[in-house]
Amino acid sequence: MKRELEMIPLDSEIFKFDCHKGLSCFTECCSKLDLLLTPYDVLRIKNRLNMDSKSFIDEYTDMDLEDYPPFPILKLKMREDGRCPFLREDGCSIYEDRPSACRLYPLARASMIVGADNKERFFLIRDEKCLGLNEEREWKIKDWLRHEGVEEYDRFNFPWFEIVTSSEELPAESRERLFKKMKAFFMASYDLDNFKRLILTEKFFQIYNVPPSVREKVFTDEKELLYLSFEWIRFVLYGKRGAVINPMDRSQEM
Ligand code: SF4
Ligand code: SF4
């Protein structure tokens, strides 16, 4: 059973929190979690574990489907005893590559998309087991994000959440075509090794006009590959042409 956590809207830039091994709740927070994984989370953890993306997905994740569009979203699969698979006696075994949600805690974002007034909305996650919330150390939100390395993750999470939470309507289409698009979304989001195999085919660069400077980078730099995958998803879903992907022949598109 997943833990029920209360979300309290934060009205101030400041909150109180401290987490350290001296607290009796140490590692209590790492079980029964409903923990969404972003593509960048998967990239970081599968590399940490020296696994290919497909093997990581099979072993460590469960899939959830959004309502509509039915985006397939990965969650970290908890062990049978409810604990996170990366939890050890002395804490998180993948700490330097822990997922975005673990970095943000005890904060959560209402949405990765900024509101109408251009401000992000943050919540404080109220977990009665978490004694760190009773500590007196004060944090400004921006200092917390920097301290936890969230900013690096945001570079990749924002563009992806923009796709997933977009209010833009998908073009009306058959069930079969929608299924095909969701499969493409999943592969380019999470199964990056497979996406790389796709672009290695001659056909990809025959269809999409990717500048040579980008082509070179995507084969050696997985972060560049991830950016390319987001552009490709936007094109496949909404027909949006980015600066990098411009189809040469629309008759060959998905
Ligand atoms: S203070 Fe909260 S976040 Fe830190 S170990 Fe305890 S339960 Fe987990
Ligand atoms: S990844 Fe690490 S920090 Fe996150 S829930 Fe698992 S053990 Fe805890």
Relative to beta strand 6-9, strand 14-16 is unpaired
Same domain, 203 and 148: no
- The reported pLDDT for the residue numbered 252 is 47
Q: Cα(104)–Cα(122) distance, rounded to whole angstroms?
A: 10
pLDDT tens per residue, range 148-179:
999 999 999 999 998 998 877 777 777 888 88
Residues 66 and 112 in one domain: yes
Considering the domain architecture, whether residues 189 and 215 belong to the same structural domain is answered as yes
Q: Provide the domain count of the chain.
A: 2
42 part of a folded domain: yes
pLDDT, the chain, mean? 88
Share of the chain above pLDDT 90, in %: 61
Residue 22 lies in a domain: yes
State the residue range of the domain holding 185: 172-252
Question: How far away, in angstroms, is 89 Cα from ligand 1 center?
Answer: 14
How would residue 115 be classed by pLDDT, with cut points 50, 70 and 90?
Answer: very low
Residue nearest to ligand 1 atom 1, measured at CA: 132
Among 163, 180, 199, residue at a domain's last position? 163
Q: Does one domain contain both 125 and 216?
A: no
Is residue 145 a part of any domain in this protein? yes
For 194-205, the pLDDT digits (tens) are 999 999 887 888
189 and 206 fall within a common domain: yes
**163, 196, 228 - which closes a domain:** 163
**Do 40 and 226 contact (CB within 8 A), yes or no?**
yes
Are 125 and 224 in the same domain? no
Q: Whose CA is nearest to atom 8 of ligand 1?
A: 29
Q: What is the pTM of this model?
A: 0.91
Q: Which of 109, 135, 163 is the last residue of a domain?
A: 163
The string of DSSP letters for 94-152 reads TGGG--HHHHHTTEEES-SS--TTS---EEEEE-TT-GGGGS--EEEHHHHHHHTTHHH
How many whole angstroms from 80 Cα to the centroid of ligand 2?
15
Average pLDDT over residues 129-158: 95
Residue 1 belongs to some domain of the structure: no
Other residues' Cβ atoms within 10 Å of the Cβ of residue 27? 16
Q: How much is the pLDDT for 55?
A: 98
Compute the average pLDDT of residues 111-115: 51
Q: What is the pLDDT of residue 145?
A: 96
20-47 per-position pLDDT tens digit: 989 999 999 999 999 999 999 999 999 9
Query: Which residue, among 250, 224, 220, has the nearest Cα to 235 in the 3D structure?
Result: 250
Surface-to-core class of residue 99, CB atoms within 10 Å of its CB (0-12 exposed, 13-18 middle, 19+ buried): buried
